[in-house]
Amino acid sequence: MPKKKKSSKHRTDFRKNHQGRVRGGDLTRDFTGGKEMADLSQGERVSGKGDLTRKRTIATESHSDDAESTAHLISGRVISAHGLKCKVMADDGAMYECAIRQVLKSLSIDGRSAVVAGDYVWFRAETPQDGMIQRVAPRHGIICRTSRGQQHVIVANIDYLLIIASAAQPGLKPVLIDRFLLTAKQCDVEPVIVINKIDLVDPTSLQSLIGAYAALGFRVLMTSAESGVGVDYLRELLHGKQTALAGQSGVGKSSLLNVVQPGLGLAIGRVSTDNDKGRHTTTTSQLIPLANGGAVFDTPGIRQFQLWDISAGEVAGLMPDIRPYVNACRYPNCLHLSEDDCAVKDAVADARIDARRYDAYCHLLEDDLLVED
């Protein structure tokens, strides 16, 4: 006799806008059949059940039966997710265009999407090219930002975050670099700073800034997709790793990938001469397997990157050069902006903290976090 599959039941929150339409709350006002209002019972009302109307009981297989419950499904990884469709590469290399199971789309989660690029999933094949995603494996190593008040997960299951900046066209933005560094620290992902287009400037002009990041323990790499400087080192760094590329539009993310793996043919845009800003050529995060092992995620260019789940009081503790001075301030809740007897500001005045790093810290709090708080 076959062994009976064990299952467990869970009460799960669902999104409010995925529920059916609610009946009118006061039927007596709309009643027009045969009776006068004075003859109707005034104590009867029809209403919903509050939060219970947005909860459902779902049955899931126990963890001990995971292998059995997914035996009839195909495992793979999401290459890209756009709208209601996901491109999934199965473990055997076959490509499928997959929809997302309705129960996954309806779950009440912090993020905007139930499935993102980089997710490991199990899906049911509907045709040789189409499928339906049934389950999503737990994530690690995510990169996310705030978008419309929600968590926007850009990629999942990565080892490195390559923070791509350009020495010129567009110019270097330390504030944006520090936003990505904080996100990498919060998500426990190793960051690598890549300064591209080094052929357009004198490298010695960046020596002090690169030295400041290197002194904090961050790996910094100077590259040029045009001249090939640093490309061999970058190719070796990516070998066997899951890496996401992030940076503003126009810094040359797609150009670097085209040089690292010739033949990719990724679209490349020009930087506007009017405002020194790049044009979006990558519209969605996309996983690209590398010929020598590993994979990279080419992400859309981001001009503004709002931090997710980081409060104003936590920023200083996540910055390794500011953290040692935090506890020496006069006030325990000091934000190191305009407070008196601030050890952080004293360290900046004494050049123990790089002034550009402190300026980036102030921008983070004043532009985003203090407004949200």
**Residue 175 has what pLDDT?**
83
In whole angstroms, what is the distance from residue 216 CA to residue 218 CA? 6
Q: Which of 3-7, 72-76, 271-275 has the lowest mean pLDDT?
A: 271-275
Residue 367 per-residue DSSP state:
I
**Residue 277 has what pLDDT?**
47
Q: Please say if the pLDDT value at position 328 is more than 90.
A: yes
**Residue 69 has what pLDDT?**
61
**Residue 56 has what pLDDT?**
53
Last residue of a domain, one of 298, 330, 364: 298
The answer on 224 and 105 residing in a single domain is no
Structural domain includes residue 220: yes
**Residue 184 has what pLDDT?**
85
The answer on 245 and 160 residing in a single domain is yes
Backbone angles phi, psi at 27, to 5 degrees: -70, -25
Last residue of a domain, one of 298, 325, 350: 298
User: What's the mean pLDDT in 208-224?
Assistant: 91
In whole angstroms, what is the distance from residue 280 CA to residue 164 CA? 15
User: What's the mean pLDDT in 327-335?
Assistant: 93
Q: Which residues make up each annotated binding site for Zn(2+)?
A: 329, 334, 336, 342
The CATH number assigned to the domain holding 152 equals 3.40.50.300
Q: What 3-state DSSP class applies to 215?
A: helix
Residues of 313-322 as b/e, b for ≥16 C-beta within 10 angstroms?
eebbebbebb
CB 281 within 8 A of CB 268: yes
User: What's the mean pLDDT in 53-67?
Assistant: 49
Assign 152 a pLDDT band (cuts: 50, 70, 90). confident
The answer on 351 and 258 residing in a single domain is no
The answer on 119 and 151 residing in a single domain is no
Report the percent of the chain where pLDDT is more than 90: 32
Q: Which of 106-120, 225-239, 351-365 has the lowest mean pLDDT?
A: 106-120
How many CB atoms within 10 Å of residue 54? 18
Q: What is the CA radius of gyration of the chain?
A: 26
The answer on 214 and 105 residing in a single domain is no
The CATH number assigned to the domain holding 364 equals 1.10.40.50
Assign 52 a pLDDT band (cuts: 50, 70, 90). very low
In 3D, which of 157, 154, 234, 152 has the Cα closest to residue 193?
234
Q: What is the pLDDT of residues 82-101, one digit of tens each?
A: 877 899 999 999 999 999 88
The CATH number assigned to the domain holding 93 equals 2.40.50.140
The answer on 351 and 266 residing in a single domain is no
Structural domain includes residue 210: yes
Last residue of a domain, one of 136, 155, 182: 136
The answer on 343 and 197 residing in a single domain is no
Assign 59 a pLDDT band (cuts: 50, 70, 90). very low
Q: Please say if the pLDDT value at position 272 is more than 50.
A: no
Q: Which residues make up each annotated binding site for GTP?
A: 196-199, 247-255
In whole angstroms, what is the distance from residue 355 CA to residue 358 CA? 5
Structural domain includes residue 30: no
The answer on 286 and 159 residing in a single domain is yes
CB 119 within 8 A of CB 78: yes
Q: Please say if the pLDDT value at position 25 is more than 60.
A: no
In whole angstroms, what is the distance from residue 69 CA to residue 73 CA? 8
**Residue 28 has what pLDDT?**
54
Q: Please say if the pLDDT value at position 187 is more than 70.
A: yes
Q: What is the mean pLDDT of the chain?
A: 77
The answer on 187 and 292 residing in a single domain is yes
Structural domain includes residue 36: no
Q: Please say if the pLDDT value at position 248 is more than 80.
A: yes
**Residue 133 has what pLDDT?**
92
In whole angstroms, what is the distance from residue 87 CA to residue 244 CA? 18
- Higher pLDDT: 14 or 178? It is 178
Structural domain includes residue 166: yes
Residue 149 structure tokens: 């008040």
The answer on 212 and 253 residing in a single domain is yes
Q: What is the pLDDT of residues 32-48, one digit of tens each?
A: 554 454 554 555 454 55
- Provide the domain limits for residue 187: 143-298
Structural domain includes residue 45: no
The answer on 249 and 187 residing in a single domain is yes
In 3D, which of 360, 353, 349, 350 has the Cα closest to residue 322?
353
**Residue 278 has what pLDDT?**
43
Structural domain includes residue 25: no
In whole angstroms, what is the distance from residue 359 CA to residue 195 CA? 20
In whole angstroms, what is the distance from residue 227 CA to residue 29 CA? 77
The answer on 322 and 291 residing in a single domain is no
Q: Which of 42-51, 252-261, 341-350 has the lowest mean pLDDT?
A: 42-51
In 3D, which of 164, 174, 134 has the Cα closest to residue 297?
164
Structural domain includes residue 26: no
Q: Which residues make up each annotated binding site?
A: 196-199, 247-255, 329, 334, 336, 342
CA angle 357/359/361 to nearest 5° reads 70
Q: What 3-state DSSP class applies to 120?
A: strand
Q: Please say if the pLDDT value at position 143 is more than 70.
A: yes
pTM of the entire predicted model: 0.72
Number of domains within the chain: 3
